[in-house]
């Protein structure tokens, strides 16, 4: 029983320090994000809409600050124990610093599980709801994001754009253009569409509320139609994956997206990078815990808790900026996303291990 007292005590101290750090950074980010969102207020986009947008974006902010919160929590939790000379007593009775660090890593695993669960089950839903709020009040006509299809028909080219699709076959923001001899001959816009489950051989959608424009030598004619059909070469699930941004997809969806791209002999570096970053996110948290432990046992052990907290925040920001920078480099110079996702984790783990090894 006595052998379990020290581990439980260290784990409890680290857990509550991490919890308060994550919640504090999370709430602070939401306040700043809401203040920034107020700049976009208009007659149609009210402060209530901005509040709803931030509410649905809050899981994204939570996931973003779990690594830094874990880093800060370990510095505070173990720092308070060091300030009360409790770590000195533990070391004096034969408890190694690496065993203490392993105890502090156990509550970090809980936040790793939380991050993975939010990424997998909550983030895709809430990000979509936030996007719907933003798009509903946006005046943009079209976006480069979404599903694009180009099909050659005799001497004409047909371009299809779908801005929104869910995995159940519901479509939104459908636009279709037909070019003849490099000139626009026909344009179609539909507010929505529903997948026709009765037709199992082909992927057919029923479009609703259609506005058409036809351009020919005699002039321009405009017409309206209640319903038309749209045929696509892929399933509703695949359309859903292709209309989503990488940050809005879960880990399993990103893997499915990667398989789809491989099957079509295509590649999306942005989605691959997001997949590897989410897959290795647990190791990112643990590497930062190792760095935080070096602040307590390493060169800053004689310094006050305030300096350690400042160094922890700066380290967390540096890790975040390094991750973003290497991610942009992977997209810009076509370097392996796997390597660029692992590199900041390896650097932080290596620095933490080196700082710990320098001290007895």
**Do residues 25 and 124 both lie within one domain?**
yes
**Do residues 19 and 130 both lie within one domain?**
yes
Q: Is 169 left (phi over 0), alpha (psi -120 to 50) or beta?
A: left
Residue with tokens 């392993």: 102
Express each pLDDT in 122-152 by its tens digit: 999 999 899 888 766 554 444 557 888 888 8
Q: Look up residue 110 and give its two tokens.
A: 């809980």
**Do residues 126 and 81 both lie within one domain?**
yes
Within 13 Å of residue 26, how many CA atoms lie on the same side as its CB? 19
- Looking at the chain, which runs of residues are DSSP E strands? 147-153, 156-165, 170-180, 183-195, 203-216, 219-232
As a whole number, the mean pLDDT across the chain is 90
**Do residues 104 and 174 both lie within one domain?**
no
Contact 224, 212 (CB under 8 A): yes
Q: Would residue 253 count as lying in a domain?
A: no
**Do residues 159 and 221 both lie within one domain?**
yes
**Do residues 294 and 348 both lie within one domain?**
yes
The closest alpha carbon to 188, from 156, 235, 224, belongs to: 224
Mean pLDDT of 286-303: 81
DSSP state string for 70-121: HHHHHHHHHHHHHHTTHHHHHHHTT--HHHHHHHHHHHHHHHHHHHHHIIII
Task: Spell 234-254 as b/e; 16+ CB within 10 A means b.
Answer: bebbbbbbbbbebbbbbbebb
Range of the domain at 48: 2-137+269-358
Whole-angstrom Cα distance, residue 181 to residue 184? 8
Q: How far is CA 295 from the centre of its chain?
A: 29
**Do residues 124 and 28 both lie within one domain?**
yes
Please tell me the predicted confidence (pLDDT) of residue 137: 56
Express each pLDDT in 88-129 by its tens digit: 889 888 899 999 999 999 999 999 999 999 999 999 999 989
Whole-angstrom Cα distance, residue 11 to residue 75? 13
**pLDDT > 90 fraction of the chain, expressed in percent and rounded:** 67
Mean pLDDT of 25-52: 94
Sorted by sequence, the CB contacts under 8 Å of residue 151 that are 6+ apart come out as 157, 158, 159, 160
Has residue 172 got a pLDDT over 80?
A: yes
Q: Would residue 275 count as lying in a domain?
A: yes
Mean pLDDT of 272-296: 93
Whole-angstrom Cα distance, residue 313 to residue 68? 7
Q: Would residue 248 count as lying in a domain?
A: no
Phi, psi dihedrals of residue 218, rounded to the nearest 5° = -80, -15
The three-point CA angle 151-170-279 to 5° equals: 85
Q: How far is CA 121 from the centre of its chain?
A: 12
Q: Would residue 55 count as lying in a domain?
A: yes
Whole-angstrom Cα distance, residue 5 to residue 10? 9
Has residue 10 got a pLDDT over 80?
A: yes
Q: Would residue 100 count as lying in a domain?
A: yes
Q: pTM of the predicted model, to two decimals?
A: 0.88
Q: Would residue 142 count as lying in a domain?
A: no
**Do residues 7 and 120 both lie within one domain?**
yes
Q: Would residue 328 count as lying in a domain?
A: yes
Whole-angstrom Cα distance, residue 171 to residue 62? 30
The closest alpha carbon to 295, from 38, 32, 143, 104, belongs to: 104
Express each pLDDT in 193-245 by its tens digit: 999 987 766 799 999 999 999 998 889 999 999 889 999 989 999 999 999 99
Q: Would residue 42 count as lying in a domain?
A: yes
DSSP letter assigned to residue 199: -
Whole-angstrom Cα distance, residue 285 to residue 72? 11
Residue with tokens 């709803």: 52
Q: Look up residue 12 and give its two tokens.
A: 């409890």
Whole-angstrom Cα distance, residue 62 to residue 27? 9
**Do residues 281 and 163 both lie within one domain?**
no
**Do residues 292 and 352 both lie within one domain?**
yes
**Do residues 210 and 126 both lie within one domain?**
no
Please tell me the predicted confidence (pLDDT) of residue 141: 44
**Do residues 33 and 65 both lie within one domain?**
yes
How many domains does the chain divide into?
2
Burial of 322 per CB tally in 10 Å (0-12, 13-18, 19+): middle
């Amino acid at each position: 029983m006595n052998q379990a007292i020290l581990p439980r005590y260290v784990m409890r101290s680290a857990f509550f320090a991490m919890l308060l750090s994550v919640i504090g950074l999370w709430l602070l980010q939401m306040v700043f994000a809401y203040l920034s969102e107020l700049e976009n207020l208009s007659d149609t986009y009210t402060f209530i809409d901005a509040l709803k947008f931030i509410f649905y974006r809050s899981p994204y902010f939570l996931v973003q600050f779990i690594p830094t919160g874990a880093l800060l929590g370990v510095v505070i939790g173990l720092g308070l124990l060091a300030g009360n000379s409790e770590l000195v007593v533990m070391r004096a009775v034969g408890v190694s610093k690496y065993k203490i660090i392993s105890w502090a890593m156990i509550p970090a695993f809980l936040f790793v599980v939380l991050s993975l669960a939010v990424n997998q089950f909550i983030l895709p839903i809430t990000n979509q709801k936030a996007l719907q709020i933003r798009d509903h009040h946006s005046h943009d006509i079209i976006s480069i994001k979404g599903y694009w299809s180009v099909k050659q028909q005799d001497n004409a080219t047909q371009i299809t754009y779908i801005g929104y699709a869910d995995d159940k076959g519901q479509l939104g923001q459908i636009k279709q253009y037909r070019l003849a001899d490099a000139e626009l001959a026909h344009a179609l816009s539909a507010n929505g569409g529903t997948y026709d489950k009765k037709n199992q051989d082909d992927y057919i959608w029923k479009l609703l509320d259609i506005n058409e424009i036809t351009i020919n030598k005699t002039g321009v004619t405009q017409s309206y139609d209640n319903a038309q059909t749209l045929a696509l070469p892929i399933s509703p699930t695949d359309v859903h994956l292709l209309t989503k941004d990488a940050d809005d997809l879960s880990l399993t969806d990103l893997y499915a997206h990667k398989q789809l791209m491989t099957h079509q002999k295509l590649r999306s570096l942005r989605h691959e990078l997001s997949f590897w970053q989410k897959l290795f996110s647990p190791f990112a948290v643990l590497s930062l815990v190792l760095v935080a432990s070096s602040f307590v046992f390493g060169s800053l052990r004689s310094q006050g808790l305030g300096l350690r907290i400042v160094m922890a925040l700066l380290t967390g920001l540096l890790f975040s900026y390094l991750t973003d920078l290497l991610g942009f480099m992977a997209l810009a110079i076509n370097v392996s996303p796997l390597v660029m996702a692992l590199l900041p984790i390896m650097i932080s783990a290596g620095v933490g291990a080196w700082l710990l090894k320098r001290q007895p």
